Structure 1
Amino acid sequence: MTTLADKAVRRWFITGASGGMGSRLTEHALRHGDHVTATVRPTEAEALNGLRETYGDRLTVESLDLTRPADIDTVISRTLQSGPVDIVVNNAGYALMGAAEEMTAEQIRDQIEVLLLAPMLITRAFLKPMRKQGGGRIIQMSGAGGQMAMPAQSAYHAGRWGLEGFTESVGGEVADFDIRLTLIEPGAMRTGFNSAMRYTTETGAYRTNAVGQIRGFMQNPDPSIFTGDPAKVAAAIYDTTRDPNPPLRLALGADGLHLMHNALTERLAALEAQKDLAASVAFTD
Protein backbone atom coordinates (compact mmCIF):
# COMPACT_ATOMS: atom_id res chain seq x y z
CA MET A 1 0.00 0.00 0.00
CA THR A 2 1.26 3.46 -0.91
CA THR A 3 1.84 5.57 2.19
CA LEU A 4 1.94 9.35 2.44
CA ALA A 5 5.71 9.24 2.84
CA ASP A 6 6.20 7.76 -0.64
CA LYS A 7 3.09 9.08 -2.42
CA ALA A 8 4.21 10.53 -5.74
CA VAL A 9 2.00 13.64 -5.83
CA ARG A 10 0.56 15.21 -2.69
CA ARG A 11 -1.72 18.15 -1.90
CA TRP A 12 -0.68 20.87 0.53
CA PHE A 13 -2.59 23.57 2.40
CA ILE A 14 -0.27 26.41 3.48
CA THR A 15 -1.26 29.58 5.33
CA GLY A 16 0.62 32.86 5.22
CA ALA A 17 2.06 32.14 1.77
CA SER A 18 2.33 35.67 0.43
CA GLY A 19 6.00 35.93 1.41
CA GLY A 20 8.73 34.69 3.70
CA MET A 21 8.75 31.04 4.70
CA GLY A 22 5.26 30.43 3.35
CA SER A 23 6.09 31.40 -0.22
CA ARG A 24 9.41 29.51 -0.09
CA LEU A 25 7.69 26.33 1.05
CA THR A 26 4.91 26.76 -1.51
CA GLU A 27 7.45 27.09 -4.30
CA HIS A 28 9.49 24.12 -3.05
CA ALA A 29 6.42 21.84 -2.98
CA LEU A 30 5.35 22.96 -6.45
CA ARG A 31 8.84 22.46 -7.83
CA HIS A 32 8.68 18.85 -6.62
CA GLY A 33 5.45 18.19 -8.50
CA ASP A 34 2.93 18.62 -5.68
CA HIS A 35 -0.29 20.64 -5.63
CA VAL A 36 -0.71 23.55 -3.20
CA THR A 37 -3.60 25.59 -1.87
CA ALA A 38 -1.91 28.70 -0.49
CA THR A 39 -3.70 31.30 1.61
CA VAL A 40 -2.77 34.97 1.67
CA ARG A 41 -4.18 38.01 3.40
CA PRO A 42 -7.00 39.71 1.46
CA THR A 43 -4.74 42.70 0.82
CA GLU A 44 -2.11 40.46 -0.83
CA ALA A 45 -4.28 38.55 -3.29
CA GLU A 46 -1.80 39.03 -6.15
CA ALA A 47 1.34 38.10 -4.18
CA LEU A 48 1.71 34.69 -5.83
CA ASN A 49 0.91 35.66 -9.40
CA GLY A 50 4.43 34.72 -10.52
CA LEU A 51 4.07 31.20 -9.15
CA ARG A 52 0.62 30.88 -10.70
CA GLU A 53 2.03 31.75 -14.09
CA THR A 54 4.77 29.13 -13.69
CA TYR A 55 2.79 26.26 -12.16
CA GLY A 56 -0.73 26.86 -13.46
CA ASP A 57 -3.56 24.93 -11.88
CA ARG A 58 -1.25 23.09 -9.50
CA LEU A 59 -1.42 26.26 -7.36
CA THR A 60 -4.67 27.54 -5.90
CA VAL A 61 -4.55 30.86 -4.05
CA GLU A 62 -7.19 31.71 -1.46
CA SER A 63 -7.64 35.04 0.33
CA LEU A 64 -8.08 34.39 4.04
CA ASP A 65 -8.35 36.54 7.15
CA LEU A 66 -7.27 34.21 9.97
CA THR A 67 -9.13 36.30 12.56
CA ARG A 68 -12.46 35.27 10.97
CA PRO A 69 -13.31 31.66 11.91
CA ALA A 70 -16.24 31.50 9.47
CA ASP A 71 -13.90 32.37 6.60
CA ILE A 72 -11.50 29.62 7.71
CA ASP A 73 -14.31 27.06 7.53
CA THR A 74 -15.39 28.29 4.08
CA VAL A 75 -11.90 28.12 2.57
CA ILE A 76 -11.15 24.67 4.02
CA SER A 77 -14.50 23.32 2.85
CA ARG A 78 -13.85 24.61 -0.67
CA THR A 79 -10.34 23.13 -0.60
CA LEU A 80 -11.56 19.69 0.46
CA GLN A 81 -14.20 19.67 -2.26
CA SER A 82 -11.34 19.53 -4.77
CA GLY A 83 -9.85 16.43 -3.15
CA PRO A 84 -8.03 15.20 -0.04
CA VAL A 85 -5.26 17.26 1.55
CA ASP A 86 -2.14 15.37 2.62
CA ILE A 87 -0.10 18.11 4.32
CA VAL A 88 -1.25 21.17 6.25
CA VAL A 89 1.19 23.93 7.17
CA ASN A 90 0.12 26.51 9.74
CA ASN A 91 2.73 29.09 8.81
CA ALA A 92 1.04 32.49 9.10
CA GLY A 93 2.16 34.67 11.97
CA TYR A 94 3.68 37.88 13.26
CA ALA A 95 5.02 39.18 16.57
CA LEU A 96 3.57 41.94 18.74
CA MET A 97 6.38 43.84 20.46
CA GLY A 98 6.00 45.84 23.66
CA ALA A 99 5.31 45.63 27.39
CA ALA A 100 2.22 43.70 28.47
CA GLU A 101 0.96 46.83 30.22
CA GLU A 102 1.11 48.70 26.91
CA MET A 103 -0.87 46.15 24.91
CA THR A 104 -4.50 46.83 24.09
CA ALA A 105 -7.10 44.09 24.39
CA GLU A 106 -7.53 44.22 20.61
CA GLN A 107 -3.79 43.75 20.01
CA ILE A 108 -3.67 40.78 22.39
CA ARG A 109 -6.76 39.19 20.85
CA ASP A 110 -5.44 39.56 17.31
CA GLN A 111 -2.06 38.06 18.24
CA ILE A 112 -3.63 35.02 19.91
CA GLU A 113 -6.15 34.54 17.11
CA VAL A 114 -3.41 34.42 14.47
CA LEU A 115 -0.80 32.40 16.37
CA LEU A 116 -3.02 30.00 18.31
CA LEU A 117 -6.76 30.02 17.61
CA ALA A 118 -6.48 29.89 13.81
CA PRO A 119 -3.97 26.98 13.80
CA MET A 120 -6.18 25.14 16.30
CA LEU A 121 -9.26 25.58 14.11
CA ILE A 122 -7.39 24.64 10.93
CA THR A 123 -5.80 21.59 12.52
CA ARG A 124 -9.14 20.45 13.91
CA ALA A 125 -10.89 20.89 10.54
CA PHE A 126 -8.43 18.60 8.75
CA LEU A 127 -8.28 15.80 11.35
CA LYS A 128 -11.46 13.99 10.32
CA PRO A 129 -10.71 13.96 6.57
CA MET A 130 -7.13 12.89 7.24
CA ARG A 131 -8.32 10.10 9.53
CA LYS A 132 -10.75 8.87 6.88
CA GLN A 133 -8.13 8.94 4.12
CA GLY A 134 -5.65 7.00 6.24
CA GLY A 135 -3.17 9.64 7.37
CA GLY A 136 -1.68 13.06 6.91
CA ARG A 137 0.93 15.52 8.11
CA ILE A 138 0.35 18.78 9.99
CA ILE A 139 3.27 21.19 10.20
CA GLN A 140 3.11 23.93 12.85
CA MET A 141 5.55 26.82 12.47
CA SER A 142 6.69 27.71 15.97
CA GLY A 143 10.21 28.69 17.00
CA ALA A 144 12.49 29.19 19.95
CA GLY A 145 9.77 31.51 21.27
CA GLY A 146 7.65 28.44 21.94
CA GLN A 147 10.26 27.00 24.31
CA MET A 148 11.69 30.11 25.98
CA ALA A 149 10.56 33.67 26.67
CA MET A 150 12.00 37.15 26.83
CA PRO A 151 10.59 40.55 27.80
CA ALA A 152 8.55 42.60 25.31
CA GLN A 153 6.96 39.60 23.57
CA SER A 154 4.51 38.22 26.14
CA ALA A 155 1.53 37.89 23.77
CA TYR A 156 3.73 36.31 21.10
CA HIS A 157 5.08 33.76 23.59
CA ALA A 158 1.56 33.05 24.84
CA GLY A 159 0.54 32.11 21.31
CA ARG A 160 3.63 30.03 20.59
CA TRP A 161 3.65 28.20 23.94
CA GLY A 162 -0.06 27.48 23.53
CA LEU A 163 0.51 26.06 20.05
CA GLU A 164 3.27 23.81 21.40
CA GLY A 165 1.03 22.32 24.09
CA PHE A 166 -1.92 21.93 21.72
CA THR A 167 0.22 20.20 19.11
CA GLU A 168 1.85 17.78 21.53
CA SER A 169 -1.55 16.82 22.96
CA VAL A 170 -3.28 16.36 19.60
CA GLY A 171 -0.29 14.43 18.29
CA GLY A 172 -0.95 11.78 20.92
CA GLU A 173 -4.64 11.65 20.02
CA VAL A 174 -4.18 10.92 16.31
CA ALA A 175 -0.92 8.95 16.05
CA ASP A 176 -2.88 5.69 15.67
CA PHE A 177 -4.38 7.09 12.45
CA ASP A 178 -0.96 7.92 10.93
CA ILE A 179 -1.62 11.63 11.35
CA ARG A 180 1.67 13.11 12.46
CA LEU A 181 2.17 16.64 13.80
CA THR A 182 5.54 18.39 13.77
CA LEU A 183 6.51 21.71 15.35
CA ILE A 184 9.13 23.53 13.31
CA GLU A 185 11.55 25.47 15.53
CA PRO A 186 13.54 27.77 13.23
CA GLY A 187 16.18 30.25 14.27
CA ALA A 188 16.49 33.74 12.80
CA MET A 189 15.96 33.54 9.05
CA ARG A 190 16.26 36.04 6.21
CA THR A 191 12.53 36.10 5.52
CA GLY A 192 11.65 39.68 6.48
CA PHE A 193 9.76 38.51 9.60
CA ASN A 194 11.06 41.52 11.54
CA SER A 195 9.51 43.92 9.05
CA ALA A 196 6.09 42.42 9.83
CA MET A 197 6.38 43.08 13.58
CA ARG A 198 3.77 45.23 15.23
CA TYR A 199 4.52 47.51 18.16
CA THR A 200 2.61 48.81 21.14
CA THR A 201 2.49 52.52 21.88
CA GLU A 202 5.60 53.05 23.99
CA THR A 203 5.27 54.48 27.50
CA GLY A 204 8.02 56.24 29.41
CA ALA A 205 8.15 53.70 32.23
CA TYR A 206 9.44 50.97 29.89
CA ARG A 207 11.61 53.09 27.59
CA THR A 208 14.92 52.41 29.32
CA ASN A 209 14.45 48.95 30.83
CA ALA A 210 14.61 45.53 29.13
CA VAL A 211 11.48 46.21 27.08
CA GLY A 212 12.91 49.37 25.55
CA GLN A 213 16.26 47.72 24.88
CA ILE A 214 14.69 44.77 23.07
CA ARG A 215 12.30 47.03 21.16
CA GLY A 216 15.23 49.11 19.94
CA PHE A 217 17.18 46.03 18.90
CA MET A 218 14.22 44.61 16.98
CA GLN A 219 13.59 47.89 15.19
CA ASN A 220 17.21 48.05 14.05
CA PRO A 221 18.54 44.48 14.15
CA ASP A 222 22.06 43.47 13.22
CA PRO A 223 21.62 41.78 9.80
CA SER A 224 24.32 39.24 10.69
CA ILE A 225 22.01 37.49 13.20
CA PHE A 226 19.79 36.23 10.38
CA THR A 227 21.81 33.15 9.56
CA GLY A 228 18.97 30.84 8.47
CA ASP A 229 18.61 30.17 4.74
CA PRO A 230 14.84 30.00 3.98
CA ALA A 231 15.45 27.74 0.97
CA LYS A 232 17.28 25.19 3.14
CA VAL A 233 14.60 25.42 5.83
CA ALA A 234 11.90 24.80 3.21
CA ALA A 235 13.81 21.77 1.94
CA ALA A 236 14.17 20.38 5.47
CA ILE A 237 10.44 20.81 6.14
CA TYR A 238 9.61 19.12 2.84
CA ASP A 239 11.94 16.24 3.70
CA THR A 240 10.31 15.70 7.09
CA THR A 241 6.94 15.21 5.36
CA ARG A 242 8.57 12.27 3.55
CA ASP A 243 9.74 10.78 6.85
CA PRO A 244 7.44 7.91 7.92
CA ASN A 245 8.27 8.68 11.57
CA PRO A 246 8.76 12.47 11.74
CA PRO A 247 9.87 14.18 14.98
CA LEU A 248 7.43 16.08 17.15
CA ARG A 249 9.85 19.03 17.15
CA LEU A 250 12.39 19.92 14.48
CA ALA A 251 15.04 22.53 15.35
CA LEU A 252 16.36 24.31 12.25
CA GLY A 253 19.11 26.77 13.09
CA ALA A 254 22.02 26.58 15.52
CA ASP A 255 20.95 29.87 17.12
CA GLY A 256 17.44 28.68 17.90
CA LEU A 257 18.73 25.34 19.16
CA HIS A 258 21.16 27.16 21.49
CA LEU A 259 18.41 29.38 22.94
CA MET A 260 16.09 26.44 23.52
CA HIS A 261 18.85 24.29 25.01
CA ASN A 262 19.77 27.01 27.51
CA ALA A 263 16.13 27.65 28.46
CA LEU A 264 15.33 23.95 28.95
CA THR A 265 18.53 23.37 30.92
CA GLU A 266 17.70 26.23 33.28
CA ARG A 267 14.13 25.01 33.73
CA LEU A 268 15.29 21.49 34.50
CA ALA A 269 17.85 22.76 37.04
CA ALA A 270 15.16 24.87 38.76
CA LEU A 271 12.84 21.87 38.87
CA GLU A 272 15.52 19.60 40.33
CA ALA A 273 16.19 22.19 43.06
CA GLN A 274 12.56 21.87 44.19
CA LYS A 275 12.60 18.07 44.45
CA ASP A 276 12.67 17.90 48.25
CA LEU A 277 10.07 20.66 48.64
CA ALA A 278 7.79 18.97 46.12
CA ALA A 279 7.92 15.70 48.09
CA SER A 280 7.39 17.43 51.45
CA VAL A 281 3.74 18.35 50.85
CA ALA A 282 2.50 14.74 50.70
CA PHE A 283 0.42 13.21 53.50
CA THR A 284 2.69 11.53 56.06
CA ASP A 285 0.31 8.71 57.08
Structure 2
Amino acid sequence: MTATARSWFVTGASSGLGRHLTELLLARGDRVAATALRASELDDLAVAHARDRLWAQVLDVTDADAVRRTVDAACAALGRVDVVVNTLGSGLLGAAEEITDAQLRHQLDTGLLGAVRIARAALPHLREQGGGRILQVTGTGGHDALPLMSLRLAAARGVEGFFASLAREVAPFGIRITLIEQADAPAADRAVPLAAYERTPLAELRRTMTSGAVRPLSDPAKTARAVLDCADLEPAPLRLVLGSDAYETTRTALARRLADLEVQREIAWSTDVDDVRH
Protein backbone atom coordinates (compact mmCIF):
# COMPACT_ATOMS: atom_id res chain seq x y z
CA MET A 1 0.00 0.00 0.00
CA THR A 2 1.31 3.45 -0.87
CA ALA A 3 2.07 6.11 1.74
CA THR A 4 -0.86 8.17 0.51
CA ALA A 5 -3.29 5.23 0.38
CA ARG A 6 -6.85 5.98 1.38
CA SER A 7 -9.98 4.03 2.18
CA TRP A 8 -12.93 4.57 -0.17
CA PHE A 9 -16.61 3.65 -0.18
CA VAL A 10 -17.86 3.29 -3.76
CA THR A 11 -21.41 2.47 -4.84
CA GLY A 12 -22.24 1.06 -8.26
CA ALA A 13 -18.86 -0.70 -8.43
CA SER A 14 -20.08 -3.37 -10.85
CA SER A 15 -19.99 -1.26 -14.03
CA GLY A 16 -19.33 2.11 -15.62
CA LEU A 17 -17.63 4.83 -13.62
CA GLY A 18 -17.93 2.95 -10.34
CA ARG A 19 -16.16 -0.09 -11.79
CA HIS A 20 -13.38 1.92 -13.43
CA LEU A 21 -12.81 3.91 -10.25
CA THR A 22 -12.71 0.80 -8.06
CA GLU A 23 -10.17 -0.90 -10.33
CA LEU A 24 -8.03 2.25 -10.45
CA LEU A 25 -8.04 2.61 -6.67
CA LEU A 26 -7.13 -1.02 -6.06
CA ALA A 27 -4.36 -0.85 -8.66
CA ARG A 28 -2.72 2.09 -6.91
CA GLY A 29 -2.89 0.47 -3.47
CA ASP A 30 -5.95 2.02 -1.85
CA ARG A 31 -8.58 0.09 0.06
CA VAL A 32 -12.14 0.01 -1.25
CA ALA A 33 -15.52 -0.85 0.18
CA ALA A 34 -17.35 -1.62 -3.07
CA THR A 35 -21.08 -2.18 -3.40
CA ALA A 36 -23.33 -3.52 -6.14
CA LEU A 37 -26.91 -4.73 -6.49
CA ARG A 38 -25.80 -8.36 -6.90
CA ALA A 39 -22.89 -10.14 -5.21
CA SER A 40 -21.90 -11.97 -8.40
CA GLU A 41 -21.11 -8.63 -10.06
CA LEU A 42 -18.10 -8.21 -7.76
CA ASP A 43 -16.89 -11.83 -7.73
CA ASP A 44 -13.99 -11.23 -10.12
CA LEU A 45 -12.70 -8.32 -8.05
CA ALA A 46 -12.97 -10.37 -4.86
CA VAL A 47 -10.90 -13.15 -6.44
CA ALA A 48 -8.23 -10.76 -7.68
CA HIS A 49 -7.75 -8.74 -4.47
CA ALA A 50 -7.06 -9.55 -0.83
CA ARG A 51 -9.90 -9.15 1.64
CA ASP A 52 -8.02 -6.46 3.56
CA ARG A 53 -7.92 -4.38 0.35
CA LEU A 54 -11.42 -5.00 -1.01
CA TRP A 55 -14.58 -5.20 1.07
CA ALA A 56 -17.45 -6.13 -1.24
CA GLN A 57 -21.11 -5.98 -0.30
CA VAL A 58 -24.56 -6.06 -1.88
CA LEU A 59 -26.45 -2.78 -1.46
CA ASP A 60 -29.81 -1.47 -2.61
CA VAL A 61 -29.83 2.28 -1.94
CA THR A 62 -33.64 2.31 -1.82
CA ASP A 63 -33.43 0.37 1.49
CA ALA A 64 -32.65 2.98 4.18
CA ASP A 65 -31.83 0.43 6.89
CA ALA A 66 -29.52 -1.49 4.55
CA VAL A 67 -27.68 1.71 3.63
CA ARG A 68 -26.96 2.52 7.28
CA ARG A 69 -25.90 -1.04 8.09
CA THR A 70 -23.63 -1.27 5.05
CA VAL A 71 -21.90 2.07 5.62
CA ASP A 72 -21.41 1.25 9.31
CA ALA A 73 -20.00 -2.19 8.47
CA ALA A 74 -17.66 -0.77 5.82
CA CYS A 75 -16.25 1.80 8.23
CA ALA A 76 -15.74 -0.92 10.85
CA ALA A 77 -14.07 -3.26 8.35
CA LEU A 78 -11.70 -0.63 6.93
CA GLY A 79 -11.13 1.27 10.17
CA ARG A 80 -12.15 4.53 8.48
CA VAL A 81 -13.48 5.78 5.16
CA ASP A 82 -11.74 8.83 3.73
CA VAL A 83 -13.78 9.28 0.55
CA VAL A 84 -17.39 8.32 -0.18
CA VAL A 85 -18.34 8.11 -3.87
CA ASN A 86 -21.93 7.55 -4.92
CA THR A 87 -22.23 6.82 -8.63
CA LEU A 88 -25.78 5.47 -8.57
CA GLY A 89 -28.71 7.07 -10.34
CA SER A 90 -31.71 6.05 -12.36
CA GLY A 91 -32.47 7.05 -15.93
CA LEU A 92 -36.07 7.49 -17.02
CA LEU A 93 -37.32 8.70 -20.40
CA GLY A 94 -40.88 9.81 -20.89
CA ALA A 95 -43.28 12.73 -20.81
CA ALA A 96 -44.51 13.61 -17.33
CA GLU A 97 -48.00 12.20 -17.79
CA GLU A 98 -46.69 8.99 -19.36
CA ILE A 99 -44.71 8.04 -16.27
CA THR A 100 -46.32 5.53 -13.92
CA ASP A 101 -46.45 6.03 -10.16
CA ALA A 102 -44.07 3.10 -9.74
CA GLN A 103 -41.55 4.67 -12.12
CA LEU A 104 -41.88 8.00 -10.32
CA ARG A 105 -41.15 6.42 -6.95
CA HIS A 106 -38.19 4.41 -8.28
CA GLN A 107 -36.67 7.44 -10.00
CA LEU A 108 -36.76 9.62 -6.89
CA ASP A 109 -35.97 6.77 -4.49
CA THR A 110 -32.79 5.89 -6.37
CA GLY A 111 -31.64 9.14 -7.94
CA LEU A 112 -32.43 11.50 -5.07
CA LEU A 113 -33.24 9.69 -1.82
CA GLY A 114 -30.56 7.05 -2.40
CA ALA A 115 -27.91 9.78 -2.64
CA VAL A 116 -29.27 11.46 0.49
CA ARG A 117 -29.25 8.15 2.40
CA ILE A 118 -25.62 7.40 1.52
CA ALA A 119 -24.48 10.86 2.62
CA ARG A 120 -26.46 10.82 5.85
CA ALA A 121 -25.15 7.37 6.78
CA ALA A 122 -21.54 8.45 6.17
CA LEU A 123 -21.67 11.81 7.96
CA PRO A 124 -21.36 10.57 11.58
CA HIS A 125 -18.25 8.57 10.67
CA LEU A 126 -16.62 11.42 8.72
CA ARG A 127 -17.43 13.90 11.47
CA GLU A 128 -16.05 11.70 14.26
CA GLN A 129 -12.80 11.02 12.40
CA GLY A 130 -12.25 14.72 11.74
CA GLY A 131 -13.17 15.03 8.08
CA GLY A 132 -13.33 13.37 4.70
CA ARG A 133 -14.83 13.76 1.23
CA ILE A 134 -18.18 12.96 -0.33
CA LEU A 135 -18.20 12.85 -4.14
CA GLN A 136 -21.71 12.64 -5.56
CA VAL A 137 -22.08 11.85 -9.26
CA THR A 138 -24.96 13.61 -10.97
CA GLY A 139 -25.97 14.88 -14.41
CA THR A 140 -26.18 18.23 -16.10
CA GLY A 141 -29.93 18.19 -15.48
CA GLY A 142 -29.23 20.18 -12.34
CA HIS A 143 -28.82 23.16 -14.68
CA ASP A 144 -30.45 22.28 -17.99
CA ALA A 145 -33.98 21.16 -18.81
CA LEU A 146 -34.92 18.78 -21.60
CA PRO A 147 -38.32 17.37 -22.59
CA LEU A 148 -38.98 13.70 -21.73
CA MET A 149 -36.65 13.91 -18.71
CA SER A 150 -38.77 15.74 -16.13
CA LEU A 151 -38.44 13.14 -13.36
CA ARG A 152 -34.76 12.55 -14.02
CA LEU A 153 -34.13 16.30 -13.82
CA ALA A 154 -36.27 16.60 -10.70
CA ALA A 155 -33.95 14.10 -9.01
CA ALA A 156 -30.84 15.88 -10.31
CA ARG A 157 -32.00 19.27 -9.07
CA GLY A 158 -32.89 17.78 -5.72
CA VAL A 159 -29.38 16.35 -5.51
CA GLU A 160 -27.91 19.76 -6.42
CA GLY A 161 -29.88 21.55 -3.73
CA PHE A 162 -29.29 18.97 -1.01
CA PHE A 163 -25.54 18.69 -1.45
CA ALA A 164 -24.96 22.43 -1.95
CA SER A 165 -26.68 23.06 1.38
CA LEU A 166 -25.01 20.08 3.06
CA ALA A 167 -21.56 21.32 2.01
CA ARG A 168 -22.04 24.45 4.09
CA GLU A 169 -23.44 22.54 7.06
CA VAL A 170 -20.52 20.14 7.38
CA ALA A 171 -17.59 22.36 6.35
CA PRO A 172 -16.77 23.13 10.04
CA PHE A 173 -16.13 19.41 10.57
CA GLY A 174 -13.57 19.21 7.75
CA ILE A 175 -16.00 17.38 5.46
CA ARG A 176 -15.80 18.49 1.84
CA ILE A 177 -18.40 17.75 -0.82
CA THR A 178 -18.13 17.77 -4.61
CA LEU A 179 -20.85 17.20 -7.18
CA ILE A 180 -19.40 15.35 -10.18
CA GLU A 181 -21.48 16.57 -13.12
CA GLN A 182 -21.56 14.58 -16.36
CA ALA A 183 -23.79 14.51 -19.42
CA ASP A 184 -26.79 12.28 -18.73
CA ALA A 185 -26.42 8.71 -19.97
CA PRO A 186 -29.15 7.05 -22.07
CA ALA A 187 -32.20 6.14 -20.00
CA ALA A 188 -32.51 2.51 -18.98
CA ASP A 189 -36.19 2.87 -18.07
CA ARG A 190 -38.79 4.23 -20.49
CA ALA A 191 -42.41 5.21 -20.13
CA VAL A 192 -44.99 3.84 -22.55
CA PRO A 193 -45.64 6.66 -25.07
CA LEU A 194 -49.08 8.20 -25.28
CA ALA A 195 -50.52 8.55 -28.76
CA ALA A 196 -51.15 12.27 -28.23
CA TYR A 197 -47.42 12.97 -28.08
CA GLU A 198 -46.81 11.30 -31.42
CA ARG A 199 -48.33 14.40 -33.01
CA THR A 200 -45.81 16.74 -31.35
CA PRO A 201 -42.07 17.42 -31.79
CA LEU A 202 -41.46 15.07 -28.86
CA ALA A 203 -41.99 12.09 -31.15
CA GLU A 204 -38.85 12.80 -33.15
CA LEU A 205 -36.89 13.69 -30.02
CA ARG A 206 -37.93 10.40 -28.43
CA ARG A 207 -36.78 8.45 -31.49
CA THR A 208 -33.42 10.22 -31.42
CA MET A 209 -32.92 9.61 -27.70
CA THR A 210 -33.82 5.91 -27.97
CA SER A 211 -31.82 5.23 -31.14
CA GLY A 212 -28.52 4.78 -29.34
CA ALA A 213 -26.97 7.60 -31.36
CA VAL A 214 -26.88 10.02 -28.43
CA ARG A 215 -24.23 9.10 -25.89
CA PRO A 216 -22.06 11.05 -23.42
CA LEU A 217 -18.66 12.03 -24.82
CA SER A 218 -16.76 11.43 -21.58
CA ASP A 219 -14.62 8.30 -21.32
CA PRO A 220 -15.39 6.32 -18.11
CA ALA A 221 -11.71 5.49 -17.51
CA LYS A 222 -10.62 9.12 -17.92
CA THR A 223 -13.54 10.24 -15.78
CA ALA A 224 -12.51 7.81 -13.05
CA ARG A 225 -9.01 9.32 -13.04
CA ALA A 226 -10.49 12.83 -12.76
CA VAL A 227 -12.71 11.73 -9.86
CA LEU A 228 -9.70 10.21 -8.10
CA ASP A 229 -7.69 13.41 -8.60
CA CYS A 230 -10.63 15.48 -7.37
CA ALA A 231 -10.27 13.94 -3.92
CA ASP A 232 -6.90 15.74 -3.63
CA LEU A 233 -8.06 19.16 -4.81
CA GLU A 234 -7.74 21.97 -2.27
CA PRO A 235 -9.97 23.78 -1.89
CA ALA A 236 -12.46 21.11 -2.89
CA PRO A 237 -14.73 22.36 -5.70
CA LEU A 238 -18.45 22.18 -4.97
CA ARG A 239 -18.98 21.19 -8.61
CA LEU A 240 -16.69 19.45 -11.07
CA VAL A 241 -17.95 19.25 -14.66
CA LEU A 242 -16.51 16.35 -16.69
CA GLY A 243 -16.91 15.92 -20.44
CA SER A 244 -16.99 18.58 -23.14
CA ASP A 245 -20.69 17.94 -23.73
CA ALA A 246 -21.43 18.47 -20.04
CA TYR A 247 -19.36 21.65 -20.04
CA GLU A 248 -21.06 23.15 -23.09
CA THR A 249 -24.55 22.17 -21.93
CA THR A 250 -23.96 23.69 -18.49
CA ARG A 251 -22.37 26.84 -19.86
CA THR A 252 -25.24 27.43 -22.29
CA ALA A 253 -27.88 26.79 -19.63
CA LEU A 254 -26.28 29.15 -17.10
CA ALA A 255 -25.77 31.90 -19.69
CA ARG A 256 -29.42 31.63 -20.74
CA ARG A 257 -30.57 31.75 -17.14
CA LEU A 258 -28.48 34.82 -16.37
CA ALA A 259 -29.78 36.59 -19.49
CA ASP A 260 -33.37 35.81 -18.47
CA LEU A 261 -32.69 37.19 -14.99
CA GLU A 262 -31.11 40.42 -16.20
CA VAL A 263 -34.18 41.50 -18.21
CA GLN A 264 -36.29 41.17 -15.05
CA ARG A 265 -34.15 43.50 -12.92
CA GLU A 266 -36.52 46.48 -13.00
CA ILE A 267 -39.55 44.31 -12.28
CA ALA A 268 -37.77 42.64 -9.37
CA TRP A 269 -36.71 45.94 -7.78
CA SER A 270 -40.10 47.54 -8.36
CA THR A 271 -41.71 45.18 -5.85
CA ASP A 272 -39.50 46.22 -2.90
CA VAL A 273 -41.02 48.11 0.02
CA ASP A 274 -40.96 51.87 -0.50
CA ASP A 275 -38.26 52.77 2.03
CA VAL A 276 -35.59 50.49 0.47
CA ARG A 277 -32.74 52.41 -1.17
CA HIS A 278 -30.74 50.76 -3.95
TM-score band, normalised by shorter chain: over 0.9
Counterpart pick for 1:9 among 5, 20, 31: 5
Are 2:216 and 2:245, in contact at CA under 8 Å, matched by a contact in 1? no
State the match for 1:270 in structure 2.
Answer: 260
Query: What whole-Å deviation, never above 9, does each CA across 1:129-181 have from its counterpart, x for those lacking one?
Result: 11111110000101212211100010100001110111111101111222110
Task: State how far apart, in whole Å, the 2-side matches of 1:72 and 1:171 are.
Answer: 21
Seen in structure 2, the aligned counterparts of structure 1 residues 77 and 210 have a Cα distance that, compared at 3 Å, is farther
Greater displacement, 230-239 / 140-149: 140-149
Are 1:99 and 1:152, in contact at CA under 8 Å, matched by a contact in 2? yes
Counterpart pick for 2:94 among 85, 92, 98: 98
Task: State how far apart, in whole Å, the 2-side matches of 1:161 and 1:73 are.
Answer: 24
Look up the equivalent residue of 1:240 and give its one-letter code. Answer: C
Structure 1 residues 60-79: aligned runs within 5 Å: 60-79=55-74
Are 2:71 and 2:121, in contact at CA under 8 Å, matched by a contact in 1? yes
Q: Which runs of 5+ in 1 are unaligned?
A: 1-5
TM-score by length of 1: 0.91
Q: Does 1:222 align with 2:216?
A: no
CA drift at 1:212: 2.6
Look up the SS of the partner of 1:65 in the other structure: coil
- Count of aligned residue pairs for this structure pair: 272
Greater displacement, 76-85 / 95-104: 76-85
CA drift at 1:48: 2.0
Query: What whole-Å deviation, never above 9, does each CA across 1:92-114 have from its counterpart, x for those lacking one?
Result: 11211001001111111110111
Greater displacement, 154-163 / 171-180: 171-180
Look up the equivalent residue of 2:112 and give its one-letter code. Answer: L
Look up the equivalent residue of 2:237 and give its one-letter code. Answer: P
Runs of 4+ in structure 1 over 6 Å off: none
Counterpart pick for 2:44 among 43, 46, 50: 50
Look up the SS of the partner of 2:50 in the other structure: helix
Look up the equivalent residue of 1:76 and give its one-letter code. Answer: V
Task: State how far apart, in whole Å, the 1-side matches of 2:72 and 2:162 are.
Answer: 23
Task: State how far apart, in whole Å, the 1-side matches of 2:136 and 2:200 are.
Answer: 33
Counterpart pick for 2:148 among 144, 148, 152: 152
Counterpart pick for 2:166 among 158, 165, 170: 170
Identity %: 40
The Cα RMSD (Å) is: 1.7
Are 2:33 and 2:54, in contact at CA under 8 Å, matched by a contact in 1? yes
Are 1:151 and 1:210, in contact at CA under 8 Å, matched by a contact in 2? no
Counterpart pick for 1:20 among 12, 16, 22: 16
CA drift at 1:10: 1.2
Are 2:126 and 2:175, in contact at CA under 8 Å, matched by a contact in 1? yes
Greater displacement, 243-252 / 233-242: 243-252
Query: What whole-Å deviation, never above 9, does each CA across 1:191-246 have from its counterpart, x for those lacking one?
Result: xx43x6100111101124243333212221326x5421111110010011122322
State the match for 1:203 in structure 2.
Answer: 194
Task: State how far apart, in whole Å, the 1-side matches of 2:272 and 2:73 are.
Answer: 55
Task: State how far apart, in whole Å, the 1-side matches of 2:113 and 2:6 are.
Answer: 26
State the match for 1:3 in structure 2.
Answer: none
TM-score by length of 2: 0.93
CA drift at 1:67: 1.4
State the match for 1:213 in structure 2.
Answer: 204
Task: State how far apart, in whole Å, the 1-side matches of 2:72 and 2:111 are.
Answer: 21
Task: State how far apart, in whole Å, the 1-side matches of 2:121 and 2:41 are.
Answer: 26
Are 1:146 and 1:160, in contact at CA under 8 Å, matched by a contact in 2? yes
